[in-house]
Amino acid sequence: DAGVIQSPRHEVTEMGQEVTLRCKPISGHNSLFWYRQTMMRGLELLIYFNNNVPIDDSGMPEDRFSAKMPNASFSTLKIQPSEPRDSAVYFCASTNADRALYNEQFFGPGTRLTVL
Amino acid sequence: GENVEQHPSTLSVQEGDSAVIKCTYSDSASNYFPWYKQELGKRPQLIIDIRSNVGEKKDQRIAVTLNKTAKHFSLHITETQPEDSAVYFCAASINYGQNFVFGPGTRLSVLP
């Protein structure tokens, strides 16, 4: 298994531009999570999906952030317009919530976003 | 909502010594407590986890203990090695991993 796949691995953009991060979960996993990691705030859960449906988006910082999961094998996190304070590493993780009482989250390699 | 605190924020030990990292959580409904290790520039990876119906779990040099009454859990690493140097995150979940709240992390340095 290739694991969780994220693209791009690095993104440098200018303030005000739209940024789209992509994630492909592990095949067969039915839960997907988007995290943001910064030195100041650590690892923060932004949103998670079960069976492609958003369950909890309370961590999404503001309306500039949106996430979609059109099918079981693909999700996007979009920032529009981007701001310098959005600079962070964004991780996607997936798990199989149907495996009773065993829900290790497998993380992707992350996307390092820099907004100038 | 759940709040997870973690101490210490940094920890330096000599190779071969033991390291202990402690976490506390606020929501008594939390029932799953994983520990993740993140090496520099890499992704977090699960190293051990414990569920609320268990008090202790061991895996080779790593052990985790849970005190539900006090709402705290700890990671113990024995015979530390340089490759143990990393940032360690604890987390708590009220629904077996569907919604983690991570602690702020502990940077462990194992000195040769």
pLDDT at B1: 81
What's the per-residue H, E or C state across chain B? CCCEEEECCEEEEECCCCEEEEEEECCCCCCEEEEEEECCCCCCEEEEEEECCCCEEEECCEEEEEECCCCEEEEEECCCCHHHCEEEEEEEECCCCCCEEECCCEEEEEEC
Token reading at B61: 């040099």
| Three-state secondary-structure class, residue A81 | coil
* pLDDT, tens only, A33-44: 999 999 888 999
Q: Name the average pLDDT for chain B.
A: 94
Residue B6 forms contact with A (CB below 8 Å)? no
A48 in contact with chain B, both atoms CB, cutoff 8 A: yes
Provide the b/e sequence for B25-64 (b: ≥16 CB within 10 Å).
beeeebbbbbbbbbeeeebbeebbbbbbeeeeeeeeebbb
pLDDT at site A99: 56
Nearest-CA distance B100 → chain A (Å)? 7
pLDDT in tens, A86-109: 999 999 999 987 655 567 899 999
Contact of A65 with chain B, judged by CB distance below 8 Å, is answered with no
- Give the distance from residue A95's alpha carbon to the nearest chain B alpha carbon, in angstroms: 9
Kind of pairing between the strands at B106-111 and B10-14: parallel
